[in-house]
Amino acid sequence: MIAKSTLHRICGVLLDRGWIIRDGAGAYELGIRALGMAARSPELPIVTAFRGVAAWLLTRHDETVCLAVLDGDSSVFVAKEDSSQPVRLVTSIGSRTPAFASASGRVHLAKRTTDEVAAEFGGRPLVTPVGRRLNGLAELSEILAAVRDHGYAENDEETAAGLWAASVPIVNRAGVVLAALTFCVPMGRVTAERRERLLRDLQIGGDRLSADVDWLPAWNARGPKP
């Protein structure tokens, strides 16, 4: 038997470090770090809601749809529904990409202030997984400003050769970004006309998913404290 005071302290540590989250009613659920311990987590409300929206997007476009959350300075896939096409994104739940480089990470960072972004990335070499070097905070700030203006982020071959990705933020009723809904499409299947259709439906899907999970609290996903 564990004393309630001890259990409360344990839950406080797990909450602070992102292993669990707490909803408005005070109930605990698995957090982002726990997601990385399992290949699939359908019991999480945001993942369950994602499945329905992803099915709609797959029916319309048959392209891989992912759900990603921010963990420290990385974007992490927590759910994925694959295209049936032979050429598609090859990745797994729990895979990580630098937030400054990925479309999913950029929709998260776009909600931060200039000072917060500078504190996280200032003085660091901003080199994408394919080797492109951003021109420091100046270029990153320009990219994030465009994300704010457009309401979505795009990525042309910055996290993987031959890959186009686009993301929209999933927000709760307080306007906090919970996750990023993302299309991952081979560049060869992205014409100018099709890009417009993909972005339009991605934004519709993002609005639907946000409405479905607007009651959720923010992820505590800034990384463990020392």
Domains, the chain, in order of start with CATH, read 39-212 (3.30.450.40)
Residues 84, 64: Cα–Cα separation, whole Å: 8
> What's the pLDDT at 37?
46
Other beta carbons within 10 angstroms of residue 35's beta carbon come to 26
> What's the pLDDT at 192?
97
What are the pLDDT tens digits along the chain (226 aa)? 556 665 566 566 555 555 555 545 556 555 555 555 444 444 578 999 999 999 999 999 999 999 999 988 999 999 999 999 887 777 788 889 999 999 999 999 999 999 999 999 998 999 999 999 999 999 999 999 999 999 999 999 999 999 999 999 999 999 999 999 999 999 999 999 999 999 999 999 999 999 999 998 875 433 333 3
> What's the pLDDT at 31?
56
Which has the closest alpha carbon to 71: 120, 27, 119?
Answer: 120
Other beta carbons within 10 angstroms of residue 2's beta carbon come to 8
Give the tokens for residue 158: 């910055």
The residue assigned the tokens 């080797």 is 131
CA atoms within 13 A on the CB side of 106: 29
Residues 108, 217: Cα–Cα separation, whole Å: 15
| φ, ψ at 143 (rounded to 5°) | -60, -45
Residues 14, 113: Cα–Cα separation, whole Å: 27
Angle in degrees, CA 100, 106, 109, rounded to 5: 90
> What's the pLDDT at 38?
46
Contact partners, residue 226, CB within 8 Å, separation at least 6: none
CB 209, CB 169: distance < 8 Å: no
> What's the pLDDT at 88?
74
Residues 185, 171: Cα–Cα separation, whole Å: 24
| Cα 174 from chain centre | 17
Other beta carbons within 10 angstroms of residue 172's beta carbon come to 17
> What's the pLDDT at 89?
74
